[in-house]
Amino acid sequence: MTTREMLLAAQGAKAALAAAGPEGRKAALLAMADALEADADPILAANALDMAAARGTMSEVMLDRLALDEVRIAGMAEGVRQAADLPDPVGKVLRRVERPNGLVIERVSVPLGVVAIIYESRPNVTSDAAALAVKSGNVCVLRGGKEAWRSCNAITQALRKGLKAAGLPEEAVSLVQDTSRDSARELMTASGLVDLLIPRGGAGLIRACVENATVPCIQTGTGICHVYVDKAADLGKALRIVENAKTSRPSVCNAEEVLLVHKDAAAAFLPMLKKRLVDDRAAAGKPPVQLRLDERAAAIIPGVPAGERDFDTEFLDYILAVAVVDDVSDAIGHIAAHSTGHSDAIVTEDTAAAELFAASVDSAAVYVNASTRFTDGGEFGLGCEMGISTQKLHARGPMGLEELCSYKYVIRGDGQIR
């Protein structure tokens, strides 16, 4: 089946999925979860082939992302069941107005339609993405990474058995067969057939989508996240937040990449930072954080001199760029110039500084006295997410079920003319 034929079939499945209603969609998700567990053997067999092909060409970290076992499959099924239990986002009356002429105008949430998702090597994204799409009444067309294709395909086949068992069209979830770049390009330019494209991957994929997509697209992910430690910060609190934001999971988009410190706090804070992130971690056998320091920071603690690109790099590693700034306005200016608009934090006990920062920093998530690591659908109470939007159009921050919907106006009258 060509990608275009698949998209046409997906368009054809929209009506049935919408008509299934909240109970029908929930039942479909539960059947999809059951089918995943029932199909554990073929999924593991497919994954073994992917793993065998990848060994020797892929890092251990990437191999671990690719690997599946019974526990991970059970985790995928559990994720689908959790999505099933979330509130249904479709058909809500978001606004209602009765006009003087008697027209009743309702703004009602509706699915977007066909959502295409381009992702990379983690096979579990297949079931996560399909569950959120179906729960929100959307048909999904998935394009997984080449190296995970057999695994993704086996998972997709299981999910389709679940859909069929629940009486819904299998075409509501499909996986692109062609794993060449052509198929990604085809999804990006399938105007009229793709209602929303969500790229989940590295900066290269996101850039390719921005440059080439003619279909509506959500920019996700890239996070050059800042923590600014103000003059009026509680330095112990600041240290815990910086440590958590940088080291709890450096490979994710909400991890801190840049630390900004007020010039009056630098002499006290930077030595604490070096002790906790470098010396204590090394002593405890943990990977120490490499500090890349601007001139003013380097005058206080030892570290690597920051290069020209270090304040514009998503390290995704145990590396932290550090700069000393004059005040909160200087920090806001630095963030405006270098942030990707994902998550940025201030640590301060000064309410005025906190409110200035919160009002001025133009990012999806702006934190006062908390770690940037909370930017996540689950942590925000959305129950799940399809990715973190760093664009301003449509959705910003974690994209949960509501953000996977559009709306339409339904206007009821009794013969009104204008």
Give the pair of three-digit tokens for residue 85. Answer: 């239990």
Residues ≥6 apart with Cβ < 8 Å to 117? 125, 129, 133, 140, 141, 142, 143, 197, 198, 199, 200, 386
Nearest to 85 by CA among 142, 131, 20: 131
Residue type, 194: V
In whole angstroms, how close is the CB of 309 to a second copy at the nearest point?
Answer: 17
Task: Report whether 317 contacts 257 (CB < 8 A).
Answer: no
In whole angstroms, how close is the CB of 182 to a second copy at the nearest point?
Answer: 19
- Rg of the chain over Cα atoms, rounded to whole angstroms, equals 24
How would you classify the pairing of strands 173-175 and 104-111?
unpaired
Residues ≥6 apart with Cβ < 8 Å to 312? 224, 338
How would you classify the pairing of strands 104-111 and 93-98?
antiparallel
Smaller CB separation from a second copy, 22 or 216: 216
Smaller CB separation from a second copy, 70 or 362: 362
Smaller CB separation from a second copy, 164 or 276: 276
Give the pair of three-digit tokens for residue 393. Answer: 């159009």
In whole angstroms, how close is the CB of 19 to a second copy at the nearest point?
Answer: 8
In whole angstroms, how close is the CB of 305 to a second copy at the nearest point?
Answer: 28
Smaller CB separation from a second copy, 10 or 18: 18
In whole angstroms, how close is the CB of 183 to a second copy at the nearest point?
Answer: 20
In whole angstroms, how close is the CB of 358 to a second copy at the nearest point?
Answer: 5
Count of beta carbons in the 10 Å neighbourhood of residue 236:
9
Give the pair of three-digit tokens for residue 193. Answer: 């057939």
Give the pair of three-digit tokens for residue 354. Answer: 């906190």
Smaller CB separation from a second copy, 1 or 210: 210
Reported as type and span, the H/E element at residue 346 is: strand 343-347
Residues 171, 175, 177, CA angle at the centre, nearest 5°? 115
Instruction: Enumerate binding residues for a second copy (CB under 8 A).
Output: 14-15, 18-19, 97, 99, 103, 105, 110, 112-113, 191, 195-196, 210-211, 214, 216, 218, 234, 237, 240-241, 243-245, 248, 354, 358-360, 362-371, 373-375, 379-381, 391-394, 396-397, 406-418
Smaller CB separation from a second copy, 14 or 65: 14
In whole angstroms, how close is the CB of 161 to a second copy at the nearest point?
Answer: 28
Rounded to the nearest angstrom, the gap between the alpha carbon of residue 241 and the centroid of all alpha carbons in its chain is 22
In whole angstroms, how close is the CB of 193 to a second copy at the nearest point?
Answer: 13
Smaller CB separation from a second copy, 160 or 246: 246
Smaller CB separation from a second copy, 387 or 397: 397
Which residue bears the tokens 């991970």? 72
Per-residue CA distances from 71 to 76, 78, 338 (Å): 9, 10, 41
Torsions phi, psi for 193 (to 5 deg): -110, -25
In whole angstroms, how close is the CB of 73 to a second copy at the nearest point?
Answer: 26
Residues 295, 315, 69, CA angle at the centre, nearest 5°? 155
How is residue 9 annotated by DSSP? Answer: H
Smaller CB separation from a second copy, 23 or 211: 211
In whole angstroms, how close is the CB of 297 to a second copy at the nearest point?
Answer: 23
Smaller CB separation from a second copy, 30 or 103: 103
Torsions phi, psi for 95 (to 5 deg): -160, 145
